[in-house]
Amino acid sequence: MSIESLLTRLDILLKEQGLSDRKACLRAREINPAVGVDFLRDMRRRKHLPRTDKLAALARVLGVQVSTLVAEVSRGAADEEIDIAMPVTQIEVCGEVQAGVWKEAQEWPLSDRYNITIPQDGAYPGIKRYGLMVKGQSMNKVFQEGSVVIVINFADIGRCPRNGDYVVAMQRSDVSDSFEATVKAVQVKESGQMVLWPQSTEPDFQSPMVLPSPDTVVCHSAAESPNVTILALVVGSYMPMPKAPF
């Protein structure tokens, strides 16, 4: 079966990384919340091909391109003539967001924007996605500087942030009419108050940002925010292939 070649390759990669099935799934879940903690166990037991967006998250954890894993499926499926075309889509990278302190939001001119191809995600169907390049080190455990976070606006999905979400937050600048933005993990307390946490290996980025009381935090349109806006939900990330350091 085609799944056998994929599972064999995954076993090799897991051993190389020193990861158990569960630990690999937990890390993949940080990239794509749709990945369950028993994702690999279920794949082994049921012998079914996984969703491409979940496979892409696992590929990132294992340090390979998703195309490498898809190639294993193709190799095993060749004799069965199974169509395993990987569903993909394109999104526009239209600006950058600071993974550090608050910094003026940067929306690029049209001439600087570009498209990236990502695996098609079944979550939030029909919702517009866009990309923001990460600048800074405060989220380097999850999003390396230079990576692209894939986001959707909370206004489009009709809900506010939930505990554990990665979000793009904005606040009005104290010195101008512009907005400042940052990407962080959000903790929602029982009172409803939200705390933005860095996820960093750097000592300078360990302290949380406690947001104002819930009635002054808006989770939809930045134009309506008198203080702080939780603008967008991070639903994935993309790391461009680096150049060799010669």
* Helix (H), strand (E), coil (C) string for the chain: CHHHHHHHHHHHHHHHHCCCHHHHHHHHHHHCCCCCCCHHHHHHHHCCCCCHHHHHHHHHHHCCCHHHHHHHHHHHHHHHCCCCCCCEEEEEEEEEEECCCCEECEECCHHHCEEEEEECCCCCCCCCCEEEEEECCCCCCCCCCCCEEEEEEHHHHCCCCCCCCEEEEEEECCCCCCEEEEEEEEEECCCCCEEEECCCCCCCCCCCEECCCHHHEECCCHHHCCCEEEEEEEEEEECCCCCCCC
The pLDDT score that the predictor gives to residue 75 is 54
- What is the reported pLDDT for 164? 92
Write out residues in the chain with pLDDT < 50, as ranges.
Answer: 1, 76-84, 221-225
Query: What pLDDT score does 135 carry?
Result: 86
Task: Specify the pLDDT at position 224.
Answer: 42
Q: What is the mean pLDDT of the chain?
A: 80
Domains of the chain: 2-80 (1.10.260.40), 89-238 (2.10.109.10)
- Mind listing the pLDDT tens digit for each residue in 195-229? 989 888 888 878 888 887 666 666 654 434 456 78
**pLDDT confidence of residue 20:** 92
Q: What does the pLDDT read at residue 169?
A: 86
| Segment 165-174, tens digit of pLDDT | 999 988 776 6
